Structure 1
Amino acid sequence: MAVRVLMSNNVAAGPDEIDDQALARAYDAPTAADGLWVRVNMVSSVDGSAQGEDGVTATINNAPDKRVFHALRSYADVVVVGAGTARAENYGPAGKPLVVVSRKGEINERLLEAPRGEVILATVGHAPGLPAAREALGDENVMILGSYAMDFGALRRELGARGWTHVLGEGGPHVLHDLLTVGVVDELCLTIVPRIVGGDHLRIVQGHQPLDVALDPVLLLEEEGTLIGRWLVKG
């Protein structure tokens, strides 16, 4: 990736070729006090839209963003995604454990093609889709994280209990809001593509509850107008 390294704790600044090893160094993750590291990766337009004009994130993905997307997946032990995002973006098997967060207990059909044990549902005890999910996935692949409301702190603890220490969240905006609200996110990765997408589209964080989270920038790359950054969540 031919880029300008605008700021980095692990890669020298300036025009450079960032190979796979240098990219891995740039995204080297520390470990939090509980032994986990939870990073969330998102993409937006310059004016803050997390979707293209058709309402799908894939519309604003570009080559630099896709490279980082796949790299971050390769570094992770498990991927966490909201059911709405998995459905809208037509998620399929990820080749590694994928946790789908759904208060309704829903899993999109394409994910059901994954080998048993690769897809895990995180839901609540009163989810209407819970019986069907248990039958499709197996009881051991369903996390019950509350009765009616999702306990996202419990989600982090359950991921750690299953031995997954490097966690990658891929949204969507409502799930990211909930994760940030309870303080379980360690790092935000964000690609800003050089486009403006007008209209009433979701931002990368969407929710009714007010939210103010301080961030510490540790990486900023640029390629052909695309900005790729890392921010650590301040304690």
Structure 2
Amino acid sequence: MPPTVDLDLLLPRDAARRLASSADEADLVALLRRDRARPHVRATMVTSVDGAAAGADGRSGSLGTPADRRVFAVLRALADVVLVGAGTVRAEGYRELPVAAGLREVRASLGLGPRIVPAVVTCRGDVPADVADGALVVTGPQGADRARAAVGADRTVVVPAPHDPGSPDLRAAVAALAARGLRHVLAEGGPRLLADLLAAGLVDELCLTTSPLLVAGDAPRAATGARPLDPPRAARVRHLLHATDGTVLTCWDLRAPVGSGS
């Protein structure tokens, strides 16, 4: 069963209501489901109130709340593939990506397989053992041999970046995943990968959870890149959820025209 913390949909106002918790999470699925005929990249991140993307232990998981876990389970269940940086896999202790029992039928009804495919982004081809079984590896030429040795050539996606041949080209990677039938991508970070995806203009929407915690310190922000986006990327609130535990969960549309309503 998903966490039973209550969630109130506050925006859009004309749809405001309480989203009932159930095994199949029908209300959340209806809110978060997207057109499967089109490729779609959705990023999800969690931060503290003061903007930290990791707690004192250096992990984003320590910022998680029952409300965040409830939504996160649905986001994963609706994805073909989870795109994640190798550093985040190591830091967060990734293993198999389970689907909650009540959401397995949801995946089946959408024509999705029983397993969520992980795709690990790595320049060096390092594949953490926790996810090596069944994972795809996205890398550039310098990491190709190591990745093939770890997961096999059929699960290695080599996409050299035009201006940095040692790094993977994320735009080409998303296209290569779509060619494999993995059209709906859930990007789970870390902050560097999210910044790179944003810089490449690949993110359709960002699901951002604000945990009711203050962290301070020097933790990274949700998106931490070598340089800022110039100009900054416009975003429009698609929906806003508030949980009884104080968590605020927003979905930001990054494709909507500037000034469009919520």
- The answer to whether 1:96 aligns with 2:96 is no
Q: How does 1:121-200 map to 2 (within 5 A)?
A: 121-127=137-143, 130-146=144-160, 147-200=165-218
The 2-side partners of 1:154 and 1:197 are apart by 36
Aligned twin of 1:233? 254
Indicate which of 18, 22, 29 corresponds to 1:24.
29
The 2-side partners of 1:149 and 1:3 are apart by 40
The 2-side partners of 1:125 and 1:230 are apart by 35
Q: Identity across aligned pairs (percent)?
A: 37
TM-score normalized by structure 1? 0.91
Letter of the structure 1 residue corresponding to residue 31 of structure 2: A
| Secondary structure at 1:149 match in 2 | strand
Deviates more, 1:92-101 or 1:188-197: 92-101
Please list every run of 5 or more consecutive structure 1 residues that lacks an aligned counterpart in the other structure: none
| Aligned-pair CA distance for 1:77 | 0.7
| Aligned-pair CA distance for 1:144 | 0.8
Letter of the structure 2 residue corresponding to residue 148 of structure 1: G
Indicate which of 78, 100, 109 corresponds to 1:75.
78
| Secondary structure at 1:148 match in 2 | strand
CA contact (8 A) 1:8 1:26 kept: no
The 2-side partners of 1:27 and 1:61 are apart by 19
| Aligned-pair CA distance for 1:15 | 4.3
CA contact (8 A) 1:38 1:184 kept: yes
Change (3 A) 1:194 1:230: same
Q: Alpha carbon RMSD of aligned pairs, Å? A: 1.7
CA contact (8 A) 2:83 2:118 kept: yes
Letter of the structure 2 residue corresponding to residue 214 of structure 1: A
Aligned twin of 2:7? 3
| Aligned-pair CA distance for 1:54 | 1.2
TM-score normalized by structure 2? 0.82
Please list every run of 5 or more consecutive structure 2 residues that lacks an aligned counterpart in the other structure: 98-114, 257-262
Aligned length: 226
Letter of the structure 1 residue corresponding to residue 7 of structure 2: V
CA contact (8 A) 1:217 1:229 kept: yes
- The answer to whether 1:221 aligns with 2:241 is yes
The 2-side partners of 1:220 and 1:76 are apart by 21
